[in-house]
Amino acid sequence: MTQFFQQLINGLSIGSVYALMAVGYSLVYSIMNFSNFAHGGVIMFGAYFGFFFLTFLRFPFPLAFISAAICSAILALIIERVAYKPLRERRAPFLYFIISAMGASIFMENLVIAIPAIGPTFRTYPEVFNKQPIKIGELAMGKLDIAMFLISAICLIILIYIIDHTKIGKAIQATSYNLKASALMGVNTDFILITVFLMGGFLAGIAGVLFGMKYTVYPQIGIITNKSFIAAVFGGLGSLPGAVIGSVLLGIIETFTAGYLSSQYRDLIAFVLLITVLVVRPMGLMGKVTEDKA
């Protein structure tokens, strides 16, 4: 029983970081209807930004954290301007967006490897939270795990508040429902897109730093961020609550697979889950049903 709760806690902690990443995919999908595969690169850069601020500039942790998030947000915006805006203006089919995103992600991953100062080596974050776990009864909770969960939860609550209760949030909702109509109603859709990419990038930066602290930083982090994309599909692409629930569930399923079956099957189960979801219920747990409009 103890093991059960222990796994549950681990699952929640990793699932909440997946959620931070997954909402980025979902936000962009809800408005632009394509899977932004460059998001993984932004998360990876976020982890490196955090590492850079903490070790080279020796920023205190909260400042390093915020700076990394801001830099990632700017990076996400640059990608939008360079790789997507020209396509958007030409009304290119969504597949071109995906290819462009793939190009951006190849570019970012290899840029990090190519810059001699960074290179392909694994980097370990300096210890921010000490390793001494907090014990409640027989359960041991790492301080880092608790911090990951809390920081992610706070960010997600703020995000959902912004979407649900502010004017710009309403505008995002309207745009995701129908871009053309909201533009006609006076919503500045270009501004909305900028906001969405900034928000997604900001969260990606936070997720990257948390991820880097939990594990290590290396250029192929994007492979792991693919799993948060799966979580977004699982929950329903384009739905924020769906992305959060899908991520937490995926985190729990993964830790349980690793704990009770074998850690070798941890990655496999994610992809099997992806295909199962697509076959059984392609719109995911909470996604909207979209019909092709001819």
Partner 1 sequence: MGNEYILGILTLAGINLMTVLGLSLLTGFTGLFSFGHAGFMAIGGYATALMTVKFHWPFIPALLAGGLAAALVSAALGKVTLNLKGDYFCIATLGFGEAIRLILDNVQTFGGARGWPGIPHYTNVWNVLGINIVAVIVLANLIRSRHGRNMIAVREEELASQIVGIDVFKYKMTSLVTSAAYAGIAGGLMGHYMTFLQPKMFSLAKSTELTIIVIFGGLGSISGSVLGALVLTSLPEILRAFSSWRLVFYGLAVIFIMISRPEGLMGGYELTPSSMKKLFRNMAAKRENKLQRAGGGK
Which residues contribute to the site for partner 1 (CB under 8 A)? 29, 33-35, 82-83, 86-87, 92, 94-96, 98-100, 102-111, 113-114, 223, 226, 230, 233, 237, 264-265, 267-268, 271-272, 274-275, 278-279, 282, 290, 292, 294
In angstroms, give the least distance from the CB of 277 to partner 1. 9
Please tell me the distance from the alpha carbon of residue 74 to that of residue 82, in angstroms, as a whole number.
12
Q: Are 132 and 143 in contact (CB under 8 A)?
A: yes
Q: Which is nearer to partner 1, 70 or 92 (CB)?
A: 92
Q: Which is nearer to partner 1, 172 or 274 (CB)?
A: 274
Q: Which tokens in the block code for residue 96?
A: 């071109």
In angstroms, give the least distance from the CB of 53 to partner 1. 24
Please tell me the distance from the alpha carbon of residue 88 to that of residue 141, in angstroms, as a whole number.
46
Q: What is the 3-state secondary structure (H, E, C) of 48-103?
A: HHHHHHHHCCCCCHHHHHHHHHHHHHHHHHHHHHHHHHHHHHCCCCHHHHHHHHHH
Please tell me the distance from the alpha carbon of residue 264 to that of residue 88, in angstroms, as a whole number.
41
In angstroms, give the least distance from the CB of 292 to partner 1. 6
In angstroms, give the least distance from the CB of 226 to partner 1. 8
Q: Which is nearer to partner 1, 63 or 114 (CB)?
A: 114
| Burial group, residue 51, by CB count within 10 angstroms (0-12, 13-18, 19+) | buried
Cα distances from 160 to residues 164, 218, 244, in angstroms, run 6, 31, 11
Q: Which is nearer to partner 1, 119 or 126 (CB)?
A: 119
Strand pairing of 139-141 and 134-136? antiparallel
In angstroms, give the least distance from the CB of 99 to partner 1. 6
Say which residue the tokens 């911090």 belong to: 147
Q: Which is nearer to partner 1, 230 or 240 (CB)?
A: 230
Q: Which is nearer to partner 1, 2 or 121 (CB)?
A: 121
Cα distances from 2 to residues 140, 251, 253, in angstroms, run 10, 18, 17
Q: Which is nearer to partner 1, 111 or 154 (CB)?
A: 111
In angstroms, give the least distance from the CB of 243 to partner 1. 14
Q: Which tokens in the block code for residue 250?
A: 């995926």
Residue 135 pairs in a beta bridge with 140
In angstroms, give the least distance from the CB of 107 to partner 1. 3
Say which residue the tokens 């840029």 belong to: 111
